[in-house]
Amino acid sequence: MADPVLFEFLHTEMVAELWAPDPDPGWGGKKSLSVLEGLGFRVGQALGERLPRETLAFREELDALKFLCKDLWAAMFQKHMDGLRTNHQGTYVLQDNSFPLLITMGSGPQYLEEAPKFLAFTCGLLCGALHTLGFQSLVTASVASLPACKFQVVIQKS
């Protein structure tokens, strides 16, 4: 059993290593997070595949989102998501009032500019897990004040 601290430290190193050097630079800073997002996506997909069978049988979007908030979050961060809101049209907002990967950066607006790169991996991970559960989605994250953050999930209708 790997200790959760290992994941946190590894994540920090990954951010330091991978967020800047993008082999395929596109428009501005936005693109530079795609590598981290891609990594997260793959990990999320694989984690999704390793879920117990019963959970893979989700029919409803909402069940899948609830799963992310409870089980997946508990597996990653040993806690549940603090809030889940939806407009019932495929858009969900997942709120974490003290996102573990941001906690160590302090509270308040001081390091706000640095925050996005610490969220990219997790965005990808949520997206990847949803992909395994059968939902195409766009996941973005926003931070108003550390260490609280919101993940917005938009389910893509095919």
Partner 1 sequence: MSRQANRGTENKKMSSELFTLTYGALVTQLCKDYENDEDVNKQLDRMGYNIGVRLIEDFLARSNVGRCHDFRETADVIAKVAFKMYLGITPSITNWSPAGDEFSLILENNPLVDFVELPDNHSSLIYSNLLCGVLRGALEMVQMAVEAKFVQDTLKGDGVTEIRMRFIRRIEDNLPAGEE
Footprint of partner 1 (CB under 8 A): 1-7, 9-11, 13-14, 16-18, 21, 23, 35, 38-39, 42-43, 46-47, 50, 52, 71-72, 74-76, 78
Minimum Å distance from CB 8 to partner 1?
Answer: 10
Q: Measured from the CB atom, is 52 or 157 closer to partner 1?
A: 52
Q: Measured from the CB atom, is 78 or 89 closer to partner 1?
A: 78
Q: 147 is written with which tokens?
A: 């260490």
**H runs (alpha helix) in 104-145:** 120-132
Minimum Å distance from CB 147 to partner 1?
Answer: 18
Contact 93, 151 (CB under 8 A): yes
Minimum Å distance from CB 12 to partner 1?
Answer: 8
Q: Measured from the CB atom, is 14 or 154 closer to partner 1?
A: 14
Q: What is the distance between the alpha carbons of residues 135 and 129, in angstroms, rounded to a whole number?
A: 9
Minimum Å distance from CB 9 to partner 1?
Answer: 5
Look up tokens 């941001």; give the residue: 102
**String of b and e for 82-118 (b: at least 16 CB within 10 Å)?**
eebeeeeeeebebbbeebbbbeebeeeeeeeeebbbb
Angle between helices 34-49 and 120-132 (to 10 degrees): 40
Q: Measured from the CB atom, is 38 or 90 closer to partner 1?
A: 38
Q: Measured from the CB atom, is 1 or 57 closer to partner 1?
A: 1
Minimum Å distance from CB 11 to partner 1?
Answer: 7
